[in-house]
Amino acid sequence: MKFFRKLSFGRMESEVIELFKEHINTVKFACEVFLKAIETDDKSLLNQVCELERTGDRLRRDIALKLYGGAFLPAMRGTLYKLAETIDETLDMLEDTAIDYLRLNLHLDDELRELCVRVAKINVKMSNDLLEAFSALRSGDKLENRTVKIRVREREVDTLRNRIYEKIMKRNVSNYWEGKILSDFIDHLVYVSDVIEDAADLIQILNVSLR
């Protein structure tokens, strides 16, 4: 992007950029850990997702402190902080998904687990796409291919969500709460892709509005 290429970064601006990279990398790592947990049904890994969410909170606060301490132009700060909030919301969704899975304490049949794993794999790919999109924003490279990939993957998740709902609607549950937690688990799992797409949209807005 021309703006980022032409702007001479000071120390605080450079620190904010590095914090954003770390923030997105935290999302990527959390997606990978959750994928491994659900693939192997290793619930002990889910504690790492919760720890990474706390790391994300710290990074969001650090970004906010530097932005409102003088990093970047005032007109940019609101959009940049919104991006940090959206990235952090992705980690919130992953934590909620991990907690639901722990609460669920149910055996997912092979077909349902396969569908959930496919969603988790797409979330990993989208988190990597988001990191590439942010890097493209910083380098001035075109973002279109990267943001298109994110949108395409999000549509894949929408299709899988419909298949998962069809599957769980036929599942017998012992009580209301079991059914609700299962529904919440699916909602949070698929919503991760929506929030990643929102973050990509904000990066695209920065790309367009600050040329």
Give me the residue spans of the domains in the chain: 2-209
What is the residue-wise DSSP string for 95-126?
HHHHHHHHHH--PPPHHHHHHHHHHHHHHHHH
* Average pLDDT per block of 10 residues along the chain, 211 residues long: 50 89 98 96 93 97 93 86 97 96 81 95 98 82 85 97 92 86 94 97 82 61
Measured CA to CA, the distance from residue 66 to residue 15 in angstroms comes to: 8
**Other beta carbons within 10 Å of 157:** 22
* Distant-in-sequence, close-in-space partners of 132: CB < 8 Å, separation ≥ 6: 146
- pLDDT score, position 10: 77
* Distant-in-sequence, close-in-space partners of 187: CB < 8 Å, separation ≥ 6: none
- pLDDT score, position 56: 97
- pLDDT score, position 3: 43
Q: Which fold has domain 2-209?
A: Methane Monooxygenase Hydroxylase; Chain G, domain 1 (1.20.58)
- pLDDT score, position 73: 79
User: Vertex 199, ends 197 and 204: CA angle to 5°?
Assistant: 90
Amino acid at 203: I
Amino acid at 144: E
- pLDDT score, position 133: 94
Measured CA to CA, the distance from residue 203 to residue 201 in angstroms comes to: 5
- Here the tokens at position 97 are 């998904």
- pLDDT score, position 138: 64
**Contact yes or no for 61/16 (Cβ under 8 A):** no
Beta strands in the chain (DSSP E): none
pTM, whole model, 2 decimals? 0.91
List pLDDT tens digits, range 19-29: 999 999 999 99
